[in-house]
Amino acid sequence: MIDNLITALGAEFVQLSLTPIVIGILGAVACALPGNFLLLRRQALIGDAISHVVLPGIVAAFLVTGTITAVPMMIGAGGAAIVAVILIEIVKRLGRVEPGAAMGLVFTTLFAAGVLFLEMTDTSSVHIDVQHALLGNLESLIWFDAEGWQSLLDPVALATLPPQLPRLAVVLLAIVLFITLFWKELKISTFDAAFAEAIGIRTRVLGFALVVVTAIAAVAAFDAVGSIIVIAMFVCPPAAARLMTNQLGRQIGWSVAFAVISAVLGYVFAGYGPGWFGSPYAVSAAGMIATISGIILLLACLFGPQRKRTGQRAEA
Helix spans in the chain (H): 2-13, 19-40, 45-65, 70-95, 99-120, 130-135, 155-158, 164-181, 183-191, 193-198, 203-242, 248-276, 285-303
How far is the C-alpha of 214 from the C-alpha of 175, rounded, in Å? 9
**141 belongs to a structural domain:** yes
Q: For residue 316, what pLDDT is reported?
A: 57
Cα distance between residue 9 and residue 3, in whole Å: 10
111: confidence class by pLDDT, cuts 50, 70, 90: confident
Residue 315 belongs to some domain of the structure? no
Tell me whether residue 92 is in a domain. yes
Residue numbers of the domain that contains 251 = 2-303
Binned at pLDDT 50, 70 and 90, residue 4 comes out as very low
Question: Is the confidence at residue 219, as pLDDT, over 50?
Answer: yes
The Cα-based distances of 302 to 22, 61, 221, 299 in angstroms read 30, 44, 30, 5
Residue 312 resides in a domain: no
- Which one has a higher pLDDT value, 254 or 280? 254
Among 257, 264, 266, which Cα is nearest to 291's?
266
Task: Give 25's contacts (C-beta < 8 A, 6+ positions apart).
Answer: 259, 260, 263, 264
The rounded distance, in Å, linking the Cα atoms of 240 and 133 is 26
Q: Is 62 or 303 the better-scoring residue by pLDDT?
A: 303
Contact 161, 143 (CB under 8 A): yes
Among 135-149, 168-182, 275-289, the least confident range: 135-149
User: The pTM is what?
Assistant: 0.83
In a domain, 159, yes or no: yes
Residue 167 lies in a domain: yes
Query: 3-state DSSP call for residue 247?
Result: strand
Identify the weakest region by mean pLDDT among 20-24, 39-43, 73-77.
Answer: 73-77
Question: Over the chain, what is the mean pLDDT?
Answer: 81
Give the CATH number, domain containing residue 212.
1.10.3470.10
Question: Buried b / exposed e across 218-257, counting CB within 10 Å, b at 16+?
Answer: bbbbbbbbbbbbbbbbbbbbbbbbbbbbeebeebbebbbb
Mean pLDDT along residues 117-139: 63
Q: Is the pLDDT of residue 216 over 50?
A: yes
Give the pLDDT band (50/70/90) at residue 70: low
The answer as to whether 311 is a domain residue is no
Are 215 and 275 a contacting pair, CB within 8 Å?
no
Give the model's pLDDT for residue 181: 93
218 lies in a domain?
A: yes
pLDDT at 5: 38
Number of structural domains in the chain: 1
CA atoms lying within 13 Å on the CB side of residue 98: 6
Q: What is the mean pLDDT of residues 149-154?
A: 80
Q: Would you say residue 122 has pLDDT above 70?
A: no
Helix 45-65 vs helix 99-120: crossing angle, to nearest 10 = 30
